[in-house]
Amino acid sequence: MPLAADGFLYLRILDSLDLNMFRLRATCPFFWKVFRFQPFSYEPLIIQMSKCTDEEKIFDLIERNKATLSAKQVGHAFNVLWQLQRQKASSLQNAKCVRDHPQFSTLYNLTTNKIKSMTDDTLVNVLYIAPRFAVAVHDPLVESLVAEAWRRLERFDINVLAKFSACLADQHLYYSPVMGKIADIVNRKLESVQDLRSLSILMINISSLISQRFQEKLIKKTELLFDTIDSSQINTARKIVQFLGGVKDHPESFVKLFVALGPVAGPQEKQQLKSTLLLMSEKLTSRQALAVVEAMEQMESRDSQLIKKIASVLHENLEKYGPIELLKITQALIFLHFQSKEVFMKLRELLLSSLEGSIHLRNTISLLRALSMLPSTHSDEAVLSRVEALLPQCDLRGLTDCATSVLKWVEDDHMYSGRVTGKQLKLLQKLDHCGRQRLQQSNSLPLLWEELKFVKGDWFHESVLEDTIVALLRLKDEINYTNVANIATFISRTNYLSASLLDRIAAVVVQQIEKIHPSSILAIILPFTVLNYDPPQRDEFFGLCMQRLHSHLGTLDPLMLVFLGLSFATLEYFPEDLLKAIFNIQFLARLDSQLEILGSLLNSKVQFRLMELNRAVCLECPEFQIPWFHDRFCQQQHNKDTGIMNGAQQQLYKILAEVLGGPNFVKASVFSPYYHRVDFECILDKRKKPLSYGNHNTTLGKPGRMYWESNIKIVGSSLPPGAERIAFEFLDSRAFCKNIPHLKGKSAMKKRHLEILGYRVIQIPHFEWNSMALSIQDAHVDYLRQRIFGDGKS
């Protein structure tokens, strides 16, 4: 599955943050043309300046008010001119036009006269902006601003000092006395610095003047401050990486920052980090190499040269690692697609040797897990016996880990030898028994949760999930505000619909909403969304959840808000405050900057979820007048879609063609308006006679093109009078709850949307299509004929 270039105005972001808006603008240009906002201030004249949409209006205000303009208003005039300048395609040409405007001379003279009365921030801001309007660095105004800033240097706060250093860097004054003075101030005040963004700017600009000892002090300070920055501050990471490019002789400091920066840095910064690391890889210790390979796993690195270098260091030091560290190494190397028979053979020998002497339960389980992950592995009697001896001591997490290992060995043995041993089957049965027994003996929800929160995998969901739900129902009176989000998260992962548990969760939220943190609301809502379930007090429950979120909409993580919006929309609940918080230019700027630092999979997922929310609001709440701005994004996804059918879909296509009178009467892999993919489609006229698509049909296995005039046109508008368009959806097991044939939220929402678009939707559940009652082809034909031409119900 998967957001800036033409179209948005008045986006006020500090230039030094340099947030890259490419994705949103390239993918959703229409949105940026529609949503606009203006800066805000408390002073009437400043408000008027902020509302100006071109330079002429600013200069008109300057001319009319030049006798009374304050230093603050002069500074704000420069700000607004700079914001307008940044929107121009030919910025250099426009800058010269602004500089040559008669009223720019007025502003120039006013600025010269107001320098002494400017605040520190205004002074440096004007110094930063003036050269961007082609005012030469040797111009008297610029020289006066620099001189005044130098005079005030000692009193500048860290933010102003950083911006002043950037102004000097723009003038290439890296070796100037004033830059040396800035370096001295940073050295003296380093302990009190708490703003990593400003420090990162200073680090770059003074780097040519500082000693190796000062470099080390800066790196250590950076390590301490790194956890304090917001995830959206990509430019901070960029500047630190830039500084580190010149620090190749300090592996310990570099590795610490590689681990912290790597997973959150942008593509260019990641590449610079990896290039620098490659140069010092042979100097890494065993601990540093382990930290690096784990960070590379988080970064989803595919740099084969660096992977080989780090794997070589790990290989040389394998004997120094403990069981849990060996597990981490194995996991990382497998994830990074590293291939080396020599390395994996040595790992296997070490793991088996460590297993023989291991007495600590958690260590032993870690060794077993690592063994099962190795490529082309197989089990032996001694290892299986060791697993069997462990089972009575294991909690649910341990049992799950053991089961995962055994199932991997079963799979490998079956693949390479075509058999499964009796010992393996007996072990799986004992695992099931121990798991059920553990759950039946549970008498405390907090203790049970401590075991459940780490469990995952096929064995748990296939063997003991039902027993787990029974245990949770037995202990449901212990659900309260402290654990309700955890239990809800667990239920979401299971796809198991228990109305009693969900009703209890809703009741706890209604009773104790003030004690629940706003960041927990998404987890609480999710099982209701996934399982398509409305509790008895639906409106009160959703309303209180939204009320709890209301005052925090501006501070919650952007990703969380997108997922919250979609979760509510899936449940046909559309809180206007939440949607307005999401569909505005400021929010999407924050979101886009955060997408910069996400892994590719999560990045694509978030973009896709935003598209789904945009689609849901456009279709179900047109009164909100939120525009559809994902057309280009969906076209890109459409072009990637292979449209390959599975066996059941191919069978359904063939029989549909038979029922409707031939392949020209059915269309496969169609994209509806707003880009819902429909498995199959046909059209019936007012007499319920199928209409042919002629030569426009789609080849099996290839997605169909959208053949209506406009992508957002309602389907029925292009049909003959009285005709209807029918969408056929084959629903596999993923569309239903695990324990009962109840349609899950996503499939229910898709049906709702297709019906809004004018389709009659016929959903064909897998359990009906593959049932004994339809075990012969004639039965399938009769089934489809009844669904299409019968009573008309879908």
| CA-wise closest residue to 744 among 731, 755, 753 | 731
Percent of the chain's residues with pLDDT above 70: 84
Q: How confident is residue 17, by pLDDT bands cut at 50, 70 and 90?
A: very low
Token output for 637: 């996804």
- For residue range 478-511, what is the model confidence (pLDDT) as tens digits? 999 999 999 999 999 999 999 999 999 999 999 9
Distance CA 699, CA 447 (A): 56
Q: Is the pLDDT of residue 322 over 50?
A: yes
pLDDT digits 0-9 by tens, 532-560: 999 999 999 999 999 999 988 888 889 99
The span from the first CA to the last CA of the chain, in angstroms, equals 28
Provide mean pLDDT across the span 331-359: 91
SS3 call for 36: coil
Residue 596 pLDDT > 80: no
The residue ranges of DSSP E strands in 690-766, in sequence order, are 724-731, 759-765
Return all residues near 419 (Cβ < 8 A) that are at least 6 apart.
413
**Which has more confidence, 33 or 544?**
544
Q: What is the pLDDT of residues 168-195, one digit of tens each?
A: 988 888 888 888 889 889 989 998 988 8
pLDDT digits (tens, 9 = 90+) for 288-299: 999 999 999 988
Under the banding of pLDDT at 50, 70 and 90, the label for residue 8 is very low
How far apart CA 348 and CA 269 sit, in angstroms, is 36
Report residue 498 as tokens: 């228990």
pLDDT in tens, 621-635: 999 999 999 998 898
pLDDT interval class at 275 (50, 70, 90): confident
The DSSP annotation for 317-329 comes to: TGGG--HHHHHHH
Beta partners for 678? 670
Spell out the residues 6+ positions from residue 330 whose beta carbon is closer than 8 angstroms to its own.
Answer: 347, 351, 370, 373, 374
pLDDT at 265 over 80: no
Neighbours of 614 (CB within 10 A): 26
**For tokens 């959903």, what's the residue?**
763
β 667-671/759-765 pair status: unpaired
**Banded pLDDT at 418 (limits 50, 70, 90):** low
What confidence score (pLDDT) does residue 229 get? 56
Which whole-number Å values give the CA distances from 482 to 115, 139, 281, 505, in the listed order?
A: 57, 64, 46, 12
Question: What pLDDT shows up at residue 206?
Answer: 86
Tell me the per-residue pLDDT of 115-137, one tens digit each, with 9 for 90 and over.
Answer: 999 999 999 999 999 888 888 88
pLDDT band at 381 (very low <50, low <70, confident <90, very high): confident
Torsion of CA 303, 305, 311, 316, to 10 degrees: -160
Residue 575 has pLDDT above 70, yes or no: yes
- Higher per-residue confidence, 698 vs 651: 651
Whether residue 375 has pLDDT greater than 80: yes
Q: Which residue has the higher pLDDT, 41 or 291?
A: 291
Pull the structure tokens for residue 177.
Answer: 């006395």
Is the distance from CB of 80 to CB of 52 less than 8 angstroms?
yes
Q: Confirm if 203 and 218 have CB atoms less than 8 A apart.
A: yes
16 has pLDDT over 50: no
The tokens describing 752, both together, are 């709702």
| Stretch 258-285: mean pLDDT | 80
Q: Residue 602 and residue 607: Cα distance in Å, rounded? A: 9
Q: What is the pLDDT of residue 552?
A: 87
Between 47-56, 183-192, 461-470, 737-746, the lowest mean confidence (pLDDT) is in: 47-56
Say what the pLDDT of residue 346 is. 94
pLDDT of residue 24: 45
Token code pair at residue 214: 């000062």
The bridge status of strand 759-765 relative to strand 724-731 is parallel
